[in-house]
Amino acid sequence: MHSFDTYGWLADVQLSGRTTGVAPPAHGTKTVGLPYPNFTGVDWVMVPYSEPVQTTIPMDQLKTQKITSIRTHFGGLVAGLKADAAPYEVETWAVQTAEYSAWAANNTVPTPYVSALAAARGMTLADLMAKIGAKVAGLASIQGMQHALEAAVNAATTQAELDAVVF
Residues 35-84 have pLDDT tens digits of 999 999 999 999 999 998 878 899 999 999 999 999 999 999 999 999 99
Report the candidate in 87, 91, 96, 94 with the shortest Cα–Cα distance to residue 121.
96
Together in a domain, 92 and 159: yes
Residue 16 has pLDDT above 90, yes or no: no
Report the candidate in 42, 53, 40 with the shortest Cα–Cα distance to residue 9.
40
Residue 151 has pLDDT above 90, yes or no: yes
Report the candidate in 40, 142, 20 with the shortest Cα–Cα distance to residue 81.
142
Together in a domain, 73 and 150: yes
Together in a domain, 4 and 26: yes
Together in a domain, 66 and 137: yes
Together in a domain, 132 and 95: yes
DSSP secondary-structure letter at 46? E
Together in a domain, 47 and 82: no
Residue 125 has pLDDT above 90, yes or no: yes
Together in a domain, 93 and 139: yes
* Number of domains forming the structure of the chain: 2
Quote the domain boundaries for residue 141: 59-163
Least confident of 40-49, 51-60, 85-94, 98-107: 51-60
